[in-house]
Structure formats: structure tokens, C-alpha cells
Amino acid sequence: MRFDSHVVDLLRVATNLVNTQTCRHAGGRPAESPTGAALRRELATVLVREGREPRVEERDAKVLARFARDARRVFEAAADEDFERAAAATNELLAWSRPAPRLDQHGSVWDLHFHGPTDRLGDGWAAGCAAALALAIGSERAGRLGVCSAPECDRVYVDLSKNGSRSFCSVTCQNRVKNTRHRLVRAPGR
């Protein structure tokens, strides 16, 4: 199964939500999750669409924080190739976020979208992102969800490469690991 652009977008948002709110280390440095107004501003940046930044209220931030914590479990299980645990975590996420599929028209095309149990921003994004994670875990691409393998980085990612061999959250972490290996090989006395 190939992911359509809507699912890819939801997976990217899910990844950004998890990374914004649950990382302890990012790129070799300690990471602190923002709180309060700073968190709401960061979430608005993650959720910006068509140049419009949404207003994220406290209730939305709480729902998206719950989503991030629960979604991290999905990414971690998939990274460990424990797809039974990933499916169980995804089912728990689906149970509380309750995505409702609906066909929405964009021009002359109808697209399948997932809506939340209410029209609130946080509910809608949590439901849509949960549905996207379910589509990923329920496909042959379940192994494309991962956690960065670089030391001191626990950022998550979705591997959209052709060969599915990604193991780092970014080129920065990949280069950190390569540089460390290179220095070890070139170290005197080796």
C-alpha cells in the first residue's frame, strides 16, 4: 500500500506532534518540551495549513499531548519490530480519538478524510493522525515508523524512502554518527 498525500501529511503531523512534546533528547542535546503559551504557539506552527496558523486552545493542547504520548508508543513498538504491540497501542489510540471517515470534496475530487468526535482542533487532528498511524501499521509499510538510532536522540520519523532503510531522524543525526565513526577509525593507536 502506498500512502496518499493526505495520509503522508497526517503522518508528518503525527511525527511533529510526538517530537515536539515527548523528546528527551534531540540531535545529541537535551530537549525540553514547551509548556503553556509556548506549547500552544509551537503546536500552531506544526498545524499550519495553507499559510494559516490555527488558534490552539489549552484544551486542544491537552488532547494533542495525550495523542503525542500514546503515538510515541506506536513509533517505539514499530521501531522494535513488535507489530503486535504497535497494533495494540494504535487500537488504544483509535478507541479514544474516535476517527470518523468522511468523504470531503476538493474541487471535482472527493478525498477520504478522518474527523474527530467534535469539531475542536485537537480532537480533529488527534483523530486524523491516529487514523494515519492505523493505516501505516495495518500495511506492509508498518516498519517505516521509527525512532532515531543516533546516540542521545529519541526523535521519531516516518521513512518515506524507496528502499526503506532510514534509521535516523535527520541528516544531522546521520552525519553525527558518521563523523563519530570516522574519528574512531582515524584515532591514533587504532
Q: pLDDT band for 161, please (50, 70, 90 cuts).
A: confident
Q: What is the mean pLDDT of the chain?
A: 92
Q: Is the pLDDT of residue 41 over 90?
A: yes
Domain boundaries, the chain: 5-186
Q: What is the mean pLDDT of residues 85-110?
A: 95
Quote the pLDDT of residue 182. Answer: 58
First-to-last alpha carbon distance for the chain, in angstroms, is 47
Grid coordinates belonging to 45: 506552527
Calpha distance 77→138 (Å, rounded): 14
**Please, what CATH class does the domain formed by 5-186 belong to?**
mainly alpha
Q: What is the mean pLDDT of residues 69-93?
A: 98
Q: Which residue has the higher pLDDT, 54 or 182?
A: 54
Cβ neighbours around 44 below 10 Å, total: 17
Quote the pLDDT of residue 164. Answer: 86
